[in-house]
Amino acid sequence: MRRFRCVSAGRFLFVTGTLLLALFALAGCQARKGADGGGAVYTVADPTGDWGFPSPFAHYPRGPGYIRMHFLFDTLVWKDEKGFVPALAESWQYLKDENAYVFRLRKDVTWHDGRKFTARDVVFTVDYLQKNRYQWTDVSIVTRAEAPDDYTVKLVLARPHAPFMNNFAATVPIIPEHVWQGVTQPEQFTDKRAAIGTGPFKFVDYNKEQGTYLYEANPNYYGGRPKVAQLRFVKINAEVVPAALRQKQVNAAQVPPEVVGDLEKEGFTVIKGAHDWVAKLMINHTRPPLDNPDFRRALAHAVDRQALVDTCLRGHGLPGGAGLLAPDNPWYNPQAELYPYDPATTAEILTGLGYVKKGQYFEKDGRVLELELLVSGEGVGVPGSPREREAEMIRSQLEKAGIKVNLRGLEAKTLDQRVGEWKFDLALSGHGGIGGDPEILNRVILGQSFLSARYDRSGELNELLKRQLSAMDPGERKGIVARIQEVYAREMPALPLYHPTWYWTHDGKVNLFYTYQGVGTGVPIPLNKLAFVR
């Protein structure tokens, strides 16, 4: 297990100063006027930095990667704080009898290279994504894409699909046919042309090693010229962000809760988000004893989720909803809360499974009950994600309940890979999106990514997840989603731990906001591109 040591105040100030000097140098090199000659550079700080090349296929499949991409590419419709708004399509209509959507496209849109955008590009995008898997949503729901004319698109669906507007129309980036038509390996296509979109910003530079991104305003953007000439993302540790804000080297950043009050007093704008990110204890339910639902329930009773919030988050968060959704989510079902912290119940369940307490730990067939817990010392790239402190606390709780736990520290991407390959017992991870359309439940229960429990052993759960997708009546769907949470909690394929409270601070030059149901499929980051053009 990697150990992390504290640094002295002098050492911290030296590191802080060094980082700020580097940031100032970067500002000096890149703070030039944009192609349109107006505005200034707008800088966003990020503690991780590298989220992959910002094309629809090459960015890293977490929320910050989608954010980097969405400034360059547009979707058919988009979302603001309240709901759906026009984007590439100025209007749309659902044809119930045909189970199809018709989109009327704008006629004043051009790609970043000057070529005209037409319905051909939309049809090409749908066909291309069906041949080349798109990581954010399942495009197979569309059985046919037609272009009756240059500015009309008709998308015929395989079946009624309640999440279509949020997860397809407002999430899938439209790509230019003239750029992608010969590309057979989209994940490896990182030529500058791969970043040609219709979005409000044009791609300038991406530096993987430094974790920096640079965009310039698209003066011909159909939604209006962006307020800033350049937009850039820089890698900077959270501890340095307040100083960078005060020195006017950073315009916006997510900040630790303990600095929020001081920054507000100094005139900075602070926005608090909903609890749309969940930290989870991933459980390898493919191997014994974790393949037994009763054993997983024993684990759930042994973890004090409220204590994690109180101690590790200093109260800035909510205990994990056992049904995956946070208590402030409009789809939340309180009946799914089945696991109060109760080590005595853990002991009772384990005893019923044939385990015997000998000394500190339970044993069975002469073997100590022992599990390995994977953790990334840096978390998974977002503030509030579980790190070594949370891992130590969970280990202490599980050992108090009689389960021996060995911690193993890994880099975040290595941890994700190990989880994806089922090479783990327990692992600390997490993801956003739970504030989006409840289709997120299908993706994080049945989906095949490393963020999903990949759990299909419950016929009842499988059927409920299928039904909620086709329930076009909101009331009917809400009842199904409520039941999904109850069955998920009963099966417990992965344990939700907590939902951190996130605070973003900015200088007011751009009116940042949180998006209705999150950016795209539900990214809970207040960097909606509309904030930069309206």
Cis-peptide into 288, omega within 30 deg? no
Distance CA 216, CA 274 (A): 30
CATH class assigned to 278-500? alpha beta
Closest CA to 512 of 261, 277, 251, 239: 251
Q: What are phi and psi of 30, to 5 degrees?
A: -110, -10
Sequence-ordered list of residues with C-beta below 8 angstroms from that of 44, at least 6 positions apart, any chain: 231, 232, 233, 234, 250, 251, 252, 253, 527
Element (H, E) at 65: helix 63-70
Distance CA 122, CA 405 (A): 51
Closest CA to 264 of 81, 42, 504, 46: 504
Which pTM was predicted?
0.81
Fold of 9-72+199-273+504-532: D-Maltodextrin-Binding Protein; domain 2 (3.40.190)
Contact 245, 22 (CB under 8 A): no
Q: What is the DSSP letter of 165?
A: I
CATH 3.40.50.620, applies to 77-180: no
Contact 184, 205 (CB under 8 A): no
Residue ranges of the domains in the chain?
9-72+199-273+504-532, 77-180, 278-500
In the three-class reduction of DSSP (H, G, I as helix; E, B as strand; rest coil), residue 27 is classed as helix
pLDDT at 138 (0 to 100): 84
Element (H, E) at 104: strand 100-105
Distance CA 329, CA 275 (A): 8
Tens-digit pLDDT string for the chain (534 aa): 333 333 333 333 334 444 444 444 444 444 434 334 346 999 999 988 999 999 999 999 889 999 999 999 999 999 999 999 999 999 999 999 999 999 999 999 999 999 999 999 999 999 999 999 898 888 999 999 999 999 999 999 999 999 999 999 999 999 999 999 999 999 999 999 999 999 999 999 999 999 999 999 999 999 999 999 999 999 998 889 999 999 999 999 999 899 999 999 999 999 998 899 999 999 999 999 999 999 999 999 999 999 999 999 999 999 999 999 999 999 999 999 999 999 999 999 999 999 999 999 999 999 999 999 999 988 887 778 999 999 999 999 999 999 999 999 999 989 999 999 999 999 999 998 899 999 999 999 999 999 999 999 999 999 999 999 999 999 999 999 999 999 999 999 999 999 999 999 999 999 999 999 999 999 999 999 999 998
E strands along 3-62, which residues?
41-46
The residue type of 405 is V
Closest CA to 163 of 519, 421, 477, 425: 477
Pairing of strands 503-506, 356-358: unpaired
Closest CA to 154 of 109, 108, 89, 107: 89
pLDDT at 39 (0 to 100): 62
Q: What is the DSSP letter of 358?
A: E
